[in-house]
Structure 1
Amino acid sequence: MIKAVIFDFDGLIVDTETAWYDAFKETMELYHVELPLEQFVKGIGSDDIALFQYFKEQLGERYNPEEIQSKADRIHKDKMTSPHTREGVRDYLEEARKLNYKIALASSSPKDWVTHYLKELQLLHYFDELITRDDVENVKPEPDLYLKAIEALNISPKEAVAFEDSLNGLKAALTAGLKCVIVPNPVTDALPFENHHLRLTSMAEMSLYRVIQLIDKD
């Protein structure tokens, strides 16, 4: 029986990822370097190691990671001046509360990044636990974040369902033993998701109650 729902953050609750892709793409254009979407998505849900390795290969002696990050940060900040939740997110959180599910967040981002947006969007109070990269040794696709969330909620993996938007997140959830619902964003929509238990275009497509019904039958 499902007792908890665990949400990813970036790209799922708030679509920061499309803004990050645009920010890095525009930054690379300043160096006359293209950033293919298929290269960018490799790090979604995890870290930027592969992304910056690509930059290093493309830029050679011009490679300056601090400069690149600084330029991208400024562009991203401009694009995220009025953040908003993805469609259906707030309804799912409200419904989870009414159904007496425990609610956690499992994010590869730093805690201050996550809490900043959750406070601004007035969502922080919904969560029983916030598990971020600050709490574990390894981020997604390793299962550490989900295992830590399960431990904090005092439940077993089979009693939780994860909501994810990336391949790295999906792998982390499945490896931890959770069922996983994929809700891709515009940047991750074309990724080759496999072995997930359900896929939605957005959380507005189906009620949380119905999702849990389908997941428990699976």
Structure 2
Amino acid sequence: MIKAAIFDFDGLILDTETAWFDAYREVLHNQFQFDLPLEEFVKCVGSDDTVLFSYLQKELDYQLNTGSIRNEARKLHSQYVSDAKAREGVVDYLRDAKNEGLTVSLATSSTTKWATTHLTNLNLLSYFDFLVTQDMVKRVKPAPDIFLKTLEKLDLEAHEAVVFEDSLNGLVAAQEVKLPTVIIPNPVTAALPFENYHLKLNSMTDMSLHEILKSLNK
């Protein structure tokens, strides 16, 4: 029986990932006339930017001022998401989760400050019973630490929760813990080779949360 719903944040609740891609692409084009391929950027989605900067270091072949690149991208990103709304169906899923009596947790590779700021701006923070962020673990996704910490806080076994994810790194982390996972990609992650998930939807409007729970509770 499913007792909890666990939601990723970036790219799933708010499409910050497309905004990050656009921001980094613009900064790298302006500073280096470099065209950032989506297939390289997407490797860091759901995790941190370590893989991205390792790739850029090799491609650009000289010492990068990573702090400067991050700061410029962050400024652009803030502009891009300042008026962004939650993805379609998010509010319905959160409301329905509470109505179904589920405990609701966030499990994100982002910081607590980042998640709480955006959830507050979206008027969604009150739906969450727990927030588990990068500040609480040693390793972010695709390592399983965030989901292990989430299950610890929920005091549940993996089969008693369902995870909603948009990234391959998130799916890999959930699979390590054997958490049933519903994949809902965003435009940046849509082409990733997702495998061994419970369901994959184009949008949360494709299937109600009640229908998902019914499929898991058979």
Local SS of the residue matching 1:26:
helix
For structure 2, list consecutive stretches of 5 or more residues without a partner in the other structure. none
Tell me the residue number matched to 1:61.
62
Which residue matches 1:185? Answer: 186
- Counterpart in the other structure of 2:169: 168
Within a 5 Å distance, the mapping from 1:6-25 to structure 2 comes to 6-25=6-25
1:74-132: CA deviations, max 9, x gaps? Answer: 11111111021000000000000100000000000011000000011111110010000
Find the residue that maps to 2:171 and give its secondary structure: helix
Q: Secondary structure at the match of 1:173?
A: helix
What is aligned with 1:120? 121
User: Please, which runs of 5 or more residues in structure 1 have no aligned partner?
Assistant: none
- For residue 161 of structure 1, give the secondary structure of its aligned residue in structure 2: strand
3-state SS in 2 of match to 1:213 = helix
Q: Percent identity?
A: 51
Secondary structure of the equivalent of 2:214?
helix
TM alignment of 1:55-134, pairs within 5 A: 55-61=56-62, 63-134=64-135
What is the match of residue 39 of structure 1? 40
SS of 1:170's equivalent?
Answer: helix
SS of the residue 2:20 aligns to: helix
Q: TM-score, normalised by structure 2?
A: 0.97
Residue 215 (structure 1) shift? 2.3
1:213 CA drift (Å): 1.1
1:29 aligns with 2:29: yes
> For 2:84 and 2:138, how far apart are their aligned partners in 1?
29
Distance across 2 between alignment mates of 1:50 and 1:135? 21
Read off the aligned partner of 1:19 and give its amino acid letter.
A
Amino acid at match of 1:194: E
Q: How far 1:62 sits from its partner (Å)? A: 5.5
- 1:79 and 1:99 mapped to 2: Cα distance? 34
SS of the equivalent of 2:205 reads: coil
Report the counterpart of residue 5 of structure 1 in structure 2: 5
Q: Which amino acid aligns with 1:9?
A: F
CA contact (8 A) 1:33 1:58 kept: no
Letter of the aligned partner of 1:13 in structure 2? I
Tell me by how many angstroms 1:159 deviates.
0.0
- SS in structure 1 opposite 2:211? helix
The list of structure 1 runs, each at least 4 consecutive aligned residues, that deviate by more than 4 angstroms after superposition, is none
Q: Is the 8 A contact 1:198 1:215 kept in 2?
A: no
Determine the C-alpha separation between the residues in 1 that align with 2:43 and 2:204. Answer: 24
Normalised TM-score (structure 1): 0.97
Number of aligned positions between the proteins: 217
When the two chains are superposed, the root-mean-square deviation of aligned CA atoms in Å is 0.9
